A and B are shown apart, each in its own frame.
Chain A
Amino acid sequence: MSKLLLLLACLIVPGVWGLLVSWLFMHGWPGAWGKGPAEEATGESEPVPVDPTAPPAEVMDFQI
């Protein structure tokens, strides 16, 4: 009987607990702490944002 109960516990408890913990993390995690890792270094620099309305001379200065 105890074996059967333990087997049932092994089958049910992890799933319910996993769902509960993920729900708690999603709703109780402080937003200021952020989610996800820092961006991985790719070795490539980000493209420089360019304002399409700016005159060509300013764009060049900005990119330089």
Chain B
Amino acid sequence: MEDPEILQQAVDNFVKLIPLGFLVGGYGAMVGAGGGFLLVPVLLLLLPDASAVSLTSISLTVVFFAAYSGSISYARMGRIDYYNGLLLAAAGVPGIILGRMAVKLIENRTPFELGFGLILLALGLYLALRPTDDGTPKAPYEETNGQSGRHWGAIGSAYVAALSGILGIGGGFMRVLLMTKLMRMTPHTATATAVFILALLALVGNVADVVTGDFFEGINTTMFLAVGVMMGAPVGAALSQKIRGSSLIRLLALAICIVGGKLIWNAV
């Protein structure tokens, strides 16, 4: 016979973590982010005794499952730009490694987090108020997405990766901004491509976690959340089809404000 406490814990996890994963996966897939910025604060409340390494590993694994599930949905819709997705993912690899190395050497992160949090908050508010450049229709994708845009997009993605490594965030929303503003991609293509990039980068991080053994800490929590995000991400992808580009940018602006607010909260 099963221990009633273990059974109760499993039921608790089922009731709390699967709906949480569903919401995180759905919203993340819609805005092109992994949802780690929503997940980590909630996990801190649910698992107050968990170590930072364990929380990071849970978050990274859940982000991978969300991005993997979202990528399959977006691939079926034909919305992923594989060329630019692979380009931005490849450009980000050394940045992530350098960022993770740099974070260990930064003794006082407060000014860094405060400054960047304020910038993100301002950016989020700006995007919420002006989701499109000037209201005029953009030129078609193929005409504007020239070589110069790709160069700047790749360089930007490399710096985003370094910054996200230092700040401990995924950086999906910053890549959506790069793709829409520098590479002139439509918000629908940019969010789908950002989810695809996240799936690749999170997989690299997960493999590293498996090698170091961090992956197996909190595996129970991870699996429940993974089920939730894998159900939520396709729903988010389907909903984003029905949302206008400017509304997607406003949802992204909300995510940026949340991340900015969280960084400021950490700093003060």
Residues of A participating in the B interface, judged by any CB pair closer than 8 Å: 2-3, 6-7, 9-10, 13-15, 17-19, 21-23, 25-26, 29, 33-41
A7-B102, A10-B99 are known contacts; what are 9 more A-B pairs with Cβ within 8 Å? A9-B98, A14-B91, A14-B158, A18-B155, A21-B87, A22-B150, A26-B150, A37-B81, A37-B82
Segment of B55-63, B140-148, B211-219 in the binding face:
B140-148
B221 at the interface (CB under 8 A from A): no
Cβ of B91 and Cβ of A6 under 8 Å apart?
no
Q: Could you say which residues of chain B place their CB within 8 Å of the CB of A6? A: 98, 101-102, 105
Cβ of A13 and Cβ of B98 under 8 Å apart?
yes
Cβ of B87 and Cβ of A40 under 8 Å apart?
no
Q: How large is the interface on B (under 10, 10 to 19, 20 to 34, 35 or more residues)?
A: 35 or more
Q: Tell me the smallest distance from the CB of A15 to a CB of chain B, in Å.
A: 5
Cβ of B157 and Cβ of A18 under 8 Å apart?
yes
Cβ of A21 and Cβ of B98 under 8 Å apart?
no
- Checking A2, A23, A35 against B83 with a beta-carbon cut-off of 8 angstroms, the contacting residue is A35
B235 at the interface (CB under 8 A from A): no
Q: Tell me the smallest distance from the CB of B160 to a CB of chain A, in Å.
A: 9
Q: Tell me the smallest distance from the CB of B137 to a CB of chain A, in Å.
A: 13
Q: Which residue of chain A lies nearest to B142 when distances are taken between CB atoms in the complex?
A: A36
- Checking A13, A26, A34, A41 against B94 with a beta-carbon cut-off of 8 angstroms, the contacting residue is A13
Q: Could you say which residues of chain B place their CB within 8 Å of the CB of A35? A: 83-84
Cβ of B79 and Cβ of A21 under 8 Å apart?
no
Cβ of A17 and Cβ of B83 under 8 Å apart?
no
B188 at the interface (CB under 8 A from A): yes
Secondary structure of the A contact surface, majority rule:
helix
Q: How far is the CA of A37 from the CA of B179 in the complex (A)?
A: 13
Number of A-B residue pairs with CB-CB distance less than 8 Å in the complex they form: 95
Secondary structure of the B contact surface, majority rule:
helix
Residues of B participating in the A interface, judged by any CB pair closer than 8 Å: 78-84, 86-87, 90-91, 94-95, 98-99, 101-102, 105, 141-142, 145, 147, 150-151, 153-159, 161-162, 166, 186, 188-189, 192-193
Q: Could you say which residues of chain A place their CB within 8 Å of the CB of B94? A: 13-14, 17
Q: How far is the CA of A40 from the CA of B147 in the complex (A)?
A: 22
- Checking A7, A14, A29, A34 against B161 with a beta-carbon cut-off of 8 angstroms, the contacting residue is A14
Q: Could you say which residues of chain A place their CB within 8 Å of the CB of B79? A: 37-38, 40
Cβ of A36 and Cβ of B155 under 8 Å apart?
no
Report 20 cross-chain contacts, Cβ distance below 8 Å, ordered by A residue.
A10-B166, A13-B94, A13-B158, A14-B155, A14-B162, A15-B159, A17-B91, A18-B159, A19-B151, A19-B155, A21-B154, A22-B87, A22-B91, A22-B150, A25-B87, A25-B150, A26-B150, A36-B83, A37-B141, A38-B78
Q: Could you say which residues of chain A place their CB within 8 Å of the CB of B193? A: 37
- Checking B91, B105, B188 against A18 with a beta-carbon cut-off of 8 angstroms, the contacting residue is B91
Q: Could you say which residues of chain A place their CB within 8 Å of the CB of B87? A: 21-22, 25
Q: Tell me the smallest distance from the CB of A48 to a CB of chain B, in Å.
A: 20
Q: How far is the CA of A22 from the CA of B89 in the complex (A)?
A: 11
Q: How far is the CA of A33 from the CA of B81 in the complex (A)?
A: 12
Cβ of B102 and Cβ of A40 under 8 Å apart?
no
